[in-house]
Structure 1
Amino acid sequence: MNLSEVKEFLDEKVLQYNAPFFIESDPISIPKKFSLKQDIEIAGFIAATLAWGQRKAIMKSAEQILEWMDYEPYHFIMNGEWPDLGTTSVYRTFNGEDLIYFFNSLRNIYMNHGGLEDVFTKGYHSTQTVKGALSYFRGVFTSVGECGRTGKHVANVDKGSSSKRLNMYLRWMVRKDKMGVDFGLWEKIKMSDLMLPLDVHTGNVGRKLGILERKQSDWKSVEEITSVLKSFDTEDPIKYDYALFGLGVFEKF
């Protein structure tokens, strides 16, 4: 297929997969439980952090964290007492120590930096790029004491990470359309500047379609494939995440 044929094919798949049914089996269903902006932000960030591996297991672990937070994420972060988790496994390599660090960092962000939206937005405005947003966010997030091993759970775009989970989180928070799968809560970051949440599925499908040549799944690959998607839709390039992901996960393309 040439690029115009790829675009037509993916446009059809966006219509198929950017739909309410997508929410049911996806980690975005976790923040969909809430209506308060800060609850959505925090629950979404936690769900996105765990979003690698089997989706049912991801959502089960995220539900456990919500239980510890008494299903009031924002109130818990601002006023709660952390559970004594030690090195208890929370999800795969993410353990109790990691979670407590996350709680402390989130409290710092909401008490001293205006909240998650303000932190990402400040980084974005410094360079007018999502890369700037991710870099600045990581700096703030890891500033609460020595982060140690927990640092590996927050992507470092400055070291070339594809930052799949953070890009997915930004898609949830920023992207808005009539289908209502994403939240579109944050209006100071442009949808047109979002970057593809590149994972094994979207990467493999992209390579098969000829819109990604680079073999590694790193930030350079994110830039490469996103630039093609922007040529398909300059205003909403990351809508194609649904098409690429759906083709990989549901159709084994």
Structure 2
Amino acid sequence: MDIKKRLDAEVEKRNRIGEVSEDNLDPILVAKRYNNPTISLICALFSYGNVKQIVKFLDSLDFSLLQKNDEEIKNALENHYYRFQKSDDVIALFVALKRLNKKTTLEKIFHDGYKNKKNIIDGLNSVISCILEQDSYNSKGYSFLIGKVTTKTKGAGALKRWMMFLRWMVRKDNIDMGLWSSEYLQDLIIPLDTHTFNVSKKLGLLERKTYDLQAAIELTEALKSFDVNDPMKYDFALYRLGQEKLL
């Protein structure tokens, strides 16, 4: 099998209006209603578990709260929770992002971390640090939601939800929104989930057996042999191949 030809065909097949819909769910469906980086980040961070439950939870959120005061946010979200996150965790995220947006933007924070070494992980570390600095609040659920500064790749979490957020923000096609500068495009790292991990091993694109950030980096390097400027264009296709059990 010609892997590149197979994946290129899958990319073309998936890159269409309607590929993501109420009948074919993905969290980006909610994010694209708003075309807003902060709302998109909330959608991405809660993107774990069953996709129907993810979308149901995201649909329950009032994103206009990002313009409200702390007390209004607390009162509106006191009954909202999702899997590992209690209401206090949801409230803390909204409060932190509201405070951050009053001072700067997510893209500026990301760019400040990224620009010296053109390193995506450095950019994400900058954003994660800034969010955590907005409030002293902490809990197990909140730590899971936001993540932590990453200083190693082997054995480290794959940062799947964060990498997916970056794909949404940087790439521009019928799936992704392209709200940020395209200068980051060739440096993006694939948002590795179990579907993509398993499919990539079956296709011989990934030899690493450990599901970690190093595996995401190695898979991205393999995909660069197909398209050095936009290796991320294969991500959604690989994901759907696994999700729909087409291999």
TM-score (norm 1): 0.87
Q: Structure 2: how far apart are the matches of 1:92 and 1:107?
A: 23
User: Aligned partner of 2:66: which letter?
Assistant: I
Q: Does 1:65 align with 2:61?
A: yes
- Equivalent in the alignment of 2:94: 103
Q: Structure 2: how far apart are the matches of 1:47 and 1:23?
A: 15
Q: Structure 1: how far apart are the matches of 2:118 and 2:223?
A: 19
Indicate how the Cα distance of structure 1 residues 185 and 64 shifts in structure 2: closer, same or farther if over 3 A, else same: same
What are the equivalent positions in structure 2 for 1:141-220 lying under 5 Å apart? 141-143=131-133, 144-149=135-140, 150-156=142-148, 157-158=150-151, 160-177=156-173, 180-187=174-181, 189-220=183-214
- Aligned counterpart for 2:52 among listed residues 41, 52, 56: 56
Q: Does 1:228 align with 2:222?
A: yes
- Equivalent in the alignment of 2:68: 79
Query: Which 5+ residue runs of structure 2 have no aligned equivalent?
Result: none
Q: Structure 1: how far apart are the matches of 2:216 and 2:34?
A: 30
- Equivalent in the alignment of 1:47: 43
Indicate how the Cα distance of structure 1 residues 78 and 176 shifts in structure 2: closer, same or farther if over 3 A, else same: same
Q: Is the 8 A contact 1:142 1:151 kept in 2?
A: no
Q: C-alpha displacement at 1:22, in angstroms?
A: 2.4
Q: C-alpha displacement at 1:221, in angstroms?
A: 0.4
Q: State the Cα RMSD in Å.
A: 1.7
> What is the aligned residue count?
235
- Equivalent in the alignment of 1:92: 83
- Equivalent in the alignment of 2:117: 127
Q: C-alpha displacement at 1:252, in angstroms?
A: 4.2
Q: Structure 1: how far apart are the matches of 2:50 and 2:246?
A: 15
Q: Structure 2: how far apart are the matches of 1:124 and 1:204?
A: 30
Q: Is the 8 A contact 1:126 1:132 kept in 2?
A: no
Q: Structure 2: how far apart are the matches of 1:138 and 1:215?
A: 28
Q: Structure 1: how far apart are the matches of 2:15 and 2:121?
A: 25
Q: Is the 8 A contact 2:27 2:54 kept in 1?
A: yes
Q: Is the 8 A contact 2:80 2:86 kept in 1?
A: yes
Deviations for 1:33-74, whole angstroms, at most 9, x for unmatched residues? 125xxxx212211111111111111011001113xx4xx3xx
Q: Percent identity?
A: 34
Q: SS of the counterpart of 1:127?
A: coil
Indicate how the Cα distance of structure 1 residues 154 and 239 shifts in structure 2: closer, same or farther if over 3 A, else same: same
Q: Is the 8 A contact 1:174 1:187 kept in 2?
A: yes
Q: Structure 1: how far apart are the matches of 2:40 and 2:128?
A: 17
